[in-house]
Amino acid sequence: MLSVTSGNAQSIVLASAPERPPMPIVVGNWKMNGLLDSLGEVERIARGVGGTRADVRLALPATLIALAALKGGELTIGAQDVHPEPCGPRTGGIAATMLRDAGARFTLVGHSERRTPQGSDDDSRVAVKLQAARAAGLEVILCVGETADDRRAGKEAAVVEKQIRRALCNVVLGNWLTIAYEPRWAIGSGTLPSLGKIAAMHRTIRSALAAMAGHDVPLLYGGSVSAANAREILSVDSIDGLLVGNASLTADRFVPIVEAAA
């Protein structure tokens, strides 16, 4: 086990160097959508992507996880958020162990819709959630990304680097971690960053990881991904996969994205 400390005293411990993934990773994020009826759509997605050369995952509302885990075939079912504490008097909270018990294999952490006053995630809460998920045996997709104001001010690299340093401080890295770069202004807006901007941010993320831990994790892009733009986005060398919101809600729109990735 290797321990590395960077100039700013943030420390990451490396258990074993994760490889770049053998297959593209395509994650659907259903957000606050889906009733029991929607399990049919989960099955259609599972059938549609069966046999493709892609690692396909769905981050579902907590209410659907247990049943989807039974019906999702080769799909990996996960959650969208996790409570930072393991149990106790936290009305409405859902702990990582509860998600794992329901059949979740991974969770998103730090999605920009949680990094809002209502969602109440700041960098330190994201770090605690990440550790809670890990302790329960969930894989983590850590979401990072700048706001439109950050980008206008030219602060996007500094903001994302800080999100990564804070989230991964004193964490044992391994192949349980994936990072999704999702510019907040691209989510749900139909507006994409240029391929050059995605590549530049992925370079920033990889060099932040290299400075802290000397190795890589899989990097995704998310924000307004659709079947029409997936192939172009995936032409960026550093991209290991996609995080898809709205276009993951139906098999008709999601399966072609997976096919483009595979």
For binding to ligand PGA (CB under 6 A), which residues are involved?
A: 29, 182, 187-188, 222-225, 243-247
Instruction: Please pick, among 111, 113, 156, 202, the residue that the annotation labels catalytic.
Output: 111
- Cβ-based neighbours of 259, under 8 Å, separated by 6 or more: 52
181: closest CA among 218, 132, 126? 218
How many CB atoms sit inside 10 A of residue 137's CB? 12
- Measured from the CB atom, the residue of 80 and 97 that comes closer to ligand PGA is 80
The per-residue DSSP string of 67-129 comes to HHHHH-TTPEEEES--BSSSSSS-TT--BHHHHHHHT--EEEES-TTTSSTTT---HHHHHHH
- Measured from the CB atom, the residue of 198 and 243 that comes closer to ligand PGA is 243
- Measured from the CB atom, the residue of 29 and 97 that comes closer to ligand PGA is 29
CB of 238 to ligand PGA, least distance (A): 18
User: How many residues are present in the chain?
Assistant: 262
CB of 184 to ligand PGA, least distance (A): 9
- Cβ-based neighbours of 239, under 8 Å, separated by 6 or more: 198, 202, 219, 220, 221, 233
Residue nearest to ligand PGA as judged by C-beta position? 245
Using only C-alpha atoms, what is the Rg of the chain? 17
| Residue 215 is a catalytic residue | no
Pairing of strands 241-244, 55-59: unpaired
| Residue 182 is a catalytic residue | yes
Give the integer Cα–Cα distance in Å for 107 and 141.
6
CB of 3 to ligand PGA, least distance (A): 33
CB of 122 to ligand PGA, least distance (A): 19
- Measured from the CB atom, the residue of 178 and 224 that comes closer to ligand PGA is 224
Instruction: Please pick, among 41, 139, 146, 182, the residue that the annotation labels catalytic.
Output: 182
- Measured from the CB atom, the residue of 140 and 213 that comes closer to ligand PGA is 140
**184 within 8 A of 201, measured Cβ to Cβ:** no
CB of 245 to ligand PGA, least distance (A): 2
Catalytic machinery residues = 111, 182
